[in-house]
Amino acid sequence: MLSVGGSLRSGVLRIPVRGLCSAVNRKSPGPGPVCSGPPSAGLPAAWTRSGSRTSTGVRRFSGGGGPGAPGWYSRLSDSAPVHLCEDFLVGVQQVSGLPWWLSIAMATLSVRTVVTLPLAAYQLIILAKVEVLQEEISELAKRLRYEVSLRARERGWTEKQSRFQFQKNLRRIVSQLYIRDNCHPFKASLLVWVQLPLWISLSLALRNLSLDQCGKLTLDSGFLRQSGLVAGGTLWIPDLTVPDSTWILPVCLGLTNLLILEVFSLQRVNPSRFQRIVTNVIRGFSVLMVPIAATVPSSMALYWFISSLVGFSHNLLLRSPAIHKLLKLRTQRSDSPYRDLLSAIITKYCK
């Protein structure tokens, strides 16, 4: 192999690199009327056709696996992380005493601030370190290319062999630099691996609570609903257990997600073809979320909307020069990021 530093050692290239309901049902049942007879007695026909309820009151839908076998969706919605999120949401509402819509907002803000905001800051630090390394990697790549060309002439390598040696040694060099600065790009994906399961668990927890048999129950259109969520809405969504028929929340959710995506896309000066494809796919998914949000309980759509708003505000916060100074970022940043962002938006969409 090769030595960028000019010395060959042993043929190896060397270079210098510096459900309150769930909780209640898990306890022993208290005194109360006990139903007898067939399980479907007294239930609406729609229940016996489309699904059944578990001991926790959550509807189970068929997902395959034969008669009586719960589907993957039922197993996911009845998993331990979802039940923990149910207990968390109910606990926030009971401790705060706020209406459900406001307690959902407070729970979302607390989770995004305590869990995902530090991870977003860590992601920013990792990406800044990787960006700083690009200049050093570029310089080392030039030296490596020269060393490869010399060795190719000495040993009569073909162009394909030279390219293979260059790429293999460059990967090793870059890996050593990442280890040296403790900034492997995979660490920047930690935010996604935490945020996505958390988002799914909280969404399913709200769905379970919206369709659950717990607390004081009321009978409405053949479905039992938790009275707290039924009367816990506000403005045009007084009932959080039914979809938003006005589509205001779904549309606001779609617009917020598109805004976040456009702000991110403005950060890329010359995006690659792959990046443009990914951006368009996410655009399509953001639009698809609008009809999806219009078919789920309003509690879920409200959580999605507030989560997007909080995430957008955190992204703006992390652009602040004061935050960059606090995180000790070594990359060159604008002193007026918000003015620059507004100018970029105006230039792209208004001219």
Does the pLDDT value for residue 276 go beyond 60? Answer: yes
d(CA 48, CA 243): 22
Query: Using an 8 Å Cβ cutoff, are 243 and 304 in contact?
Result: no
The answer to whether 28 and 174 have CB atoms below 8 angstroms apart is: no
Distance CA 320, CA 325 (A): 9
Beta-bridge mates of residue 179? none
pLDDT in tens, 180-198: 888 888 888 888 899 899 9
Q: Give the three-state DSSP class for 296.
A: coil
Q: How high does pLDDT run on average in the chain? A: 74
pTM: 0.69
The confidence band for 332, taking pLDDT boundaries of 50, 70 and 90, is: low
Model confidence band, residue 226 (pLDDT cutoffs 50, 70, 90): low
Calpha distance 237→243 (Å, rounded): 8
* Residue with more model confidence, 220 or 282: 282
Neighbours of 59 (CB within 10 A): 19
Query: What are the extents of the domains in the chain?
Result: 72-230
Beta bridge partners of 52: 60
Tell me the residue type at 280.
N
Kindly tell me the sign of the dihedral angle through the C-alpha atoms of 30, 34, 39, 45.
negative
- Four-CA torsion 159, 163, 169, 175, nearest 10 degrees: 180
- Nearest Cα neighbor of 181 from 144, 141, 135 is 135
Assess whether pLDDT exceeds 90 at residue 304.
Answer: yes
pLDDT band at 26 (very low <50, low <70, confident <90, very high): very low
CA-closest candidate to residue 39, choices 26, 50, 52, 24 = 52
Span 130-156, pLDDT tens digits: 888 888 999 999 999 999 888 888 888
Phi, psi of 241 (to 5 degrees): -95, -5
User: What is residue 110's predicted lDDT score, i.e. its pLDDT?
Assistant: 92
| Amino acid type, 40 | S
The mean per-residue pLDDT over the stretch 85-98 comes to: 86
**SS3 call for 217:** strand
Strand, helix or coil at 59?
strand
Phi, psi torsion values for 140, nearest 5 degrees = -65, -35
Mean pLDDT of 6-10: 37
pLDDT tens, position by position, 202-224: 999 888 888 763 433 344 433 43
Residue-wise over 17-47: b if at least 16 C-beta within 10 A, else e? bebbbbebbeeeeeeeeeeeeeeeeeeeeeb
The reported pLDDT for the residue numbered 64 is 40
What SS3 state is found at 141?
helix
Confidence of residue 261 (pLDDT cuts 50, 70, 90): confident
How many CB atoms lie under 10 A from the CB of residue 290? 19
The larger pLDDT score, comparing residue 173 to residue 26, is at: 173
Return the pLDDT at 251: 92
What three-state secondary structure class fits 102? Answer: helix
Share of the chain above pLDDT 90, in %: 17
Q: Rounded to an integer, what distance in angstroms lies between the CA atom of residue 242 and that of residue 298?
A: 6
pLDDT at 51 over 50: no
